[in-house]
Amino acid sequence: MTKQEKAQFVIDTLEELYTETPIPLNHKDPYTLLIAVLLSAQCTDARVNTITPLLFAKADNPYDMIKLSVEEIKAIIRPVGLSPMKSKGIYGLSKILIDKHDGEVPQSFEYLEELPAVGHKTASVVMSQAFGVPAFPVDTHIHRLMYRWNLSNGKNVVQTEKDAKRLFPKELWNKLHLQIIYYGREHSPARGWDIENDIIYKTIGRKKL
């Protein structure tokens, strides 16, 4: 199989398994999605979804968020980990959204990545899931699977993103990155991986891991 044929096999298999791709992080608008994605760094989506209702009950927009202190935010979000950094990021970005963007989340990679605690992956998730702009956010699942499937060299997430964007049609990026995440969780996890349950790896994967 050529890499392009492998990529098509991935597309076809995932479309059969995951015709619907609900966004894993609960949110109601671009701002609450941005906060949820920021909180999800080194934390499971499931845990984030238990904490965001508590935070958003007090502040679900930047104007209310800056009425809280960094310490108050930190106390609420502590269970998701990295709370000192994340609480400062949430407060800081909320203030910048008010001061520079009229309280709205900007539809721009450049402006998003200027916000505190917002890196390229977080910006990509917001652009794709909140605004429908083609992007290919690479999380640990996608990075792992692109390597296992021999579609990327696994050196770093920057290269993995480049390889994914080169191999997969742009119009599929937003749905496909979610499909790969769902597949990684259910069929090709980092721990407890059952190769017999991983049809994509069995068909196209690198045989030496």
Check: CB of residue 45 under 8 Å from CB of residue 24. yes
- 155 noted as active-site residue: no
Catalytic residue among 6, 121, 163, 198: 121
Q: What is the 3-state secondary structure (H, E, C) of 11-65?
A: HHHHHHHCCCCCCCCCCCCHHHHHHHHHHCCCCCHHHHHHHHHHHHHHCCCHHHH
Residue with tokens 């009229």: 102
Catalytic residue among 86, 139, 163, 198: 139
Check: CB of residue 130 under 8 Å from CB of residue 30. yes
- 139 noted as active-site residue: yes
Check: CB of residue 101 under 8 Å from CB of residue 115. no
Look at the alpha carbons of 106, 111, 117, 121 in this order and tell me if their dihedral is positive or negative: positive
List strand residue ranges (DSSP E) for the chain, in order. none
Q: Which residues are catalytic?
A: 121, 139
